[in-house]
Structure 1
Amino acid sequence: MDRVLMLSPWTFDKYLVALYKLETDEQIHDLPPRRMTKDVGVSIGRTLVEVEDVDMGEEGKALGRCIRVRVKLDLSQPLCRGRLVGFGSQESLWVNFMYERLPIFCYWCGKLNHDDKDCVLWINSKGSLRKEDQQYGVWLRASTKKP
């Protein structure tokens, strides 16, 4: 069981199989380099969900151009695309979130429990929605743009 939970999430036929202890990695992008610390990663991650771990180097600095945060997600809620973060006296800065290991994802509503063709928004639109109008499509394809 530990091996299965450690290597999670698992999929079956491209659908997420949520076990008791669901974990995923969230990446926080577009932070100023001096703000890419474990404390900042934990602070931002806690605004969303329970933080399990922050992937940092030996000196407590980010490994690359983003902060990787392991979080527990509520599968009934859409993924958060980013946050407006304040750093004291500076003006607030938008930071983008990206997610790893998402086996199936709806670009219309941002949820993990179905894909585009099974989304209530798509079904109710009777095919009138355009790809350009996907709330999460632009975000995942070009993470540098504000949603």
Structure 2
Amino acid sequence: MANIWHPVGGICLTDLGNKRYLFQFFNEVEVQRVISSTPWFFNSHLLILQRIQKGENLLVLALNSTEFWVQVHELPTGLMSESMAKQFGDFLGKFLNYDTSVSSLGHKTHMRIRVCLDVTAPLKRKKKIQMREAMLVYARFKYEKLSPFCFICGKLGYGESYCPFQLKIEPSKIIYGCDLSLVQPRWGTTVVSKWSRTKWITMSC
């Protein structure tokens, strides 16, 4: 992660146990840059980053949400507005931002919204929209930089081989509710530690 983030002042890492780690940066600029560019991954596993507040117990801190860019496809042009982006964002999780620069040769093909997602909840594939004259359309979602998820229950963090529903349902009756249509490609990662440091000054997420 240090090699990916390239922190100018270096970074320190402390293993807190129970799959929790403390990343300690040396200036506020680096902290903001890393947080604003989430999600991040290590060996294809999603990292849940949260800024630490003074006095918080790091071992019981709830780590269940992170930010994603989500694309909204198959919408009529007239519905591609900021007000609709906010509705979609709050439907998916919590709306944060709307990317107004998305276009294709002057014509928008999709919307792009920044959303804070609850990673313990299933990913949402689509949303039904009632239009005038009894016309229905379905907005379909694609998640950028999506980590491994279960095609059965739609939750992040594991594949269908580890899905708890497999213990309750006969294999022949399992329904795969998700597929790769939810995924937008992302770049790979590397693990090199030339940016590491052994002494820390300030701490963040």
CA distance in 1 between partners of 2:68 and 2:172 (Å): 29
Alignment RMSD, CA only? Answer: 2.5
Q: Give CA-to-partner distance per residue, 1:72-121, whole Å, 9 cap, x none.
A: 00111001111111345653321111111112111111011212222112
TM-score normalised per structure 1 = 0.77
Verify: 1:104 aligned to 2:134, yes or no: no
More strand by share: 2
**Matched residue of 1:73: which SS?**
strand
Matched letter for residue 45 of structure 2: Y
What's the counterpart of residue 137 of structure 2?
93
Q: Where does 1:14-93 land on structure 2 (aligned, <5 Å)?
A: 14-20=44-50, 22-57=66-101, 62-63=102-103, 64-87=108-131, 91-93=135-137
Equivalenced residue count is 135
TM-score normalised per structure 2 = 0.57
Q: Which structure carries more relative contact order (alpha carbon 8 Å, separation 6+)? A: 2
Verify: 1:137 aligned to 2:167, yes or no: no
Return 5+ residue gaps in structure 1 as ranges: 142-147
User: Could you tell me whether the CA contact under 8 Å between 1:117 and 1:123 is conserved in 2?
Assistant: no
Give the greater-gyration-radius structure (CA): 2
CA distance in 2 between partners of 1:8 and 1:138 (Å): 21
Moved over 6 A (4+): none
Q: What is the aligned-residue identity percentage?
A: 27
CA distance in 1 between partners of 2:46 and 2:94 (Å): 20
